[in-house]
Structure 1
Amino acid sequence: MDALPLQHHDLAGRTILVTGANAGIGYWCAERLAARGARVVLGCRSAERAQTAVDAILARVPGAVLRVVSVDLGSLESIERGAAGIGERLDAVICNAGVKTARRQDRTTDGLDLMMGTNFLGHFALVGRVEPLLADDARVVAVGSLAHRFAHLDPARLTDPWRGSSLKQYGRSKAALMAFAFELDRRWSGSARSAVCAHPGYAVDPLTATREGVIETPAPVRALATLARPLVQGKDDGATPVIHAATATEVTSGDYWGPGGMLEFRGAPVRVKASDEVRAASTGVPLWSAAEKSTGVRFPA
């Protein structure tokens, strides 16, 4: 296995927290940020999977500076404990971890809807808990989804049982996370901090580069999937807009980045359009209040 050299060291001295860093988009963010010299904090629910991810990164980037923090976005107690254990300045937080479920009865440890509670409320609580650790010019990146376009948010019914498809509820949870980032942008107005959104396009495992223990797709499946490459991409490429949103100097607070190809399924990062609903203060303000009520977390600033 060939090792990747540290690339330019352009992120040396910067510490970036990535949630869900043991798999998918989060893993690729961690590996590629480490290759550029960043100190990467892997926020993971499973210690075993986190160690597998660390081993995979070190096999490719021998000089990687990595740290694992145990945090389950589906548990407010775990979030509080994990945030308290970080104890160092954070230059960026990538809110990536997410779950999908087809079962309406699935709940978080605190009795919240699993997708809304993990994908949005968990990240709301985490960012609120770590805000005192954020650098003066820190950047928070919410990893959204194309599915947010088909979602409607009613902050007053944020944790109500959902009806309809699981994809629709997943889109709603990602829309809520994005609306949080846009509201955070408004609240940080006038400071050097920034809050942005990004999405990975249509990113699939079978087109993703292999990493032992992390991404291992059978050769026949991989070969068949190559037929779809003109339309979609692997999760390694899907991480690119997210990394760009977290690190590029051209990014400004309130941006939304995604792939620039057809339907935003694949391609190099460009600024893309978020729905009017997730951008609106009329969504963000009551959503923020509902999140504070659901999580018990209030931002110190």
Structure 2
Amino acid sequence: MTNRTFVVTGANNGLGFATARALTDRGEHVILAVRDERKGRAAQAALTGGTTEVRRVDLSDLDDVRAFADGIEKVDVLINNAGVMAPPRTLSKQGYELQLAVNHLAHFALTGLLLDRLAAGADPRVVTVSSELHKKGRLDFDDLQGERRYRATAAYDNSKLANAVFGLELHRRLTAAGSPIRSVLAHPGYAVTGLQAGVQPGLYRTLLTRIGNPLIAVSAERGARPIVHAATAPQVQGGQFIGPGGLGEMRGAPDVVRPAPVATDAGTGRLLWNVSEELTGVRFPLPQPV
């Protein structure tokens, strides 16, 4: 199927750009959702297939997310990809911890705001990009913002767990509503992307960039394969998690992988959903599963 419209957040570099390239090579129309419009134009110039648009959105500002969503007339597939990784504790415009705000809350809000247009789309899907590191995450609803205790790497893992919990709870609610939209999770394995540039200097960043990346990591193009598969493969089902099928899910061909048990817990899904609606002010027109 070609000529569908894909919205890809964080599409100017890393996994987002590799995903956009793979989609445009298939002849699809891709909306590059980027924070820096200049970088978005440069990425657009490097894409030679399909058709593209550049639209600016700052995912650290929920007002900007709303304005972006208001400008989208048509979308068949939303790929919630953009993120920040392990910065010092920083707050979004609305005062939320930055990794939770960008990686989860902005994409929760964007999905809800675009749900009506997705429902009218061709083979509509929401692909939420998580990480194998979600298995190390923990959602402490008494300290979700890391106000009492903040560790940058742990907060990243927690935000990736929130992505997984959201994607599966969205699947349950779409199913209960009889919606045609498929909610699918994906993760790239261990891929080299621009995301690591935001990690604060220290041992963790050194291990990533000087040891892990050269010895283990795959390219962004290979890391994007599970994301593209989740977004386009006809056999993919709602509620599935697509990742690399190789050893440790670090590399390999796209395959169905298992999320952490906590990510599948319906009670956790309901609780995160309710908190996310409260923090974003976005309400989905979907019933809560019985």
Give TM class, smaller chain. Answer: 0.7 to 0.9
Rounded Cα–Cα distance in structure 2 between residues aligned with 1:75 and 1:275: 29
Q: Does 1:15 align with 2:5?
A: yes
The one of 213, 220, 230 equivalent to 1:235 is: 220
Q: Quote the residue 1:48 is aligned against.
A: 38
Q: Following superposition of structure 1 onto structure 2, how do residues 1-301 of structure 1 map, counting pairs within 5 Å?
A: 11-58=1-48, 61=49, 64-88=50-74, 90-104=75-89, 106-136=90-120, 137-161=123-147, 163-189=149-175, 190-205=178-193, 228=215, 231-301=216-286
Rounded Cα–Cα distance in structure 2 between residues aligned with 1:48 and 1:94: 21
Residue 164 (structure 1) shift = 4.8
CA offset digits 1:10-65 (Å, max 9, x no partner)? x422111100000100001101101101110111111011001101113xx3xx20
Secondary structure class of the residue paired with 1:267: coil
Check whether the contact 2:146–2:155 (CA below 8 A) recurs between aligned residues. Answer: no
CA offset digits 1:63-86 (Å, max 9, x no partner)? x20011211111011000000011
Residue 205 (structure 1) shift = 4.6
Q: TM-score, normalised by structure 1?
A: 0.84
Name which of structure 1's ranges 151-160 and 21-30 shifts more when overlaid on structure 2. 151-160
Residue 158 (structure 1) shift = 2.5
Taking only aligned residues, the RMSD between alpha carbons, in angstroms, comes to 1.9
Distance of aligned partners of 1:95 and 1:146 in 2 relative to their CA distance in 1, 3 Å threshold? same
Rounded Cα–Cα distance in structure 2 between residues aligned with 1:27 and 1:299: 29
Residue 261 (structure 1) shift = 1.0
Residue 91 (structure 1) shift = 1.1
Check whether the contact 2:86–2:155 (CA below 8 A) recurs between aligned residues. Answer: no
Count of residues paired in the alignment: 267
Check whether the contact 1:155–1:283 (CA below 8 A) recurs between aligned residues. Answer: no
Rounded Cα–Cα distance in structure 2 between residues aligned with 1:225 and 1:76: 34
Rounded Cα–Cα distance in structure 1 between residues aligned with 2:218 and 2:151: 25
Secondary structure class of the residue paired with 1:203: coil
Rounded Cα–Cα distance in structure 1 between residues aligned with 2:9 and 2:213: 29
Residue 138 (structure 1) shift = 1.1
Q: What is the one-letter code of the residue matched to 2:76? A: D
How many percent of aligned residue pairs carry the same amino acid?
Answer: 40
CA offset digits 1:219-247 (Å, max 9, x no partner)? xxx9x99962xx33111100000100111
CA offset digits 1:172-215 (Å, max 9, x no partner)? 00110111110000001133211010100000159xxxxxxxxx
Rounded Cα–Cα distance in structure 2 between residues aligned with 1:162 and 1:173: 17
Rounded Cα–Cα distance in structure 1 between residues aligned with 2:173 and 2:142: 21
Gaps of 5+ in 1: 1-10, 207-221
Rounded Cα–Cα distance in structure 2 between residues aligned with 1:65 and 1:162: 47
Q: TM-score, normalised by structure 2?
A: 0.87
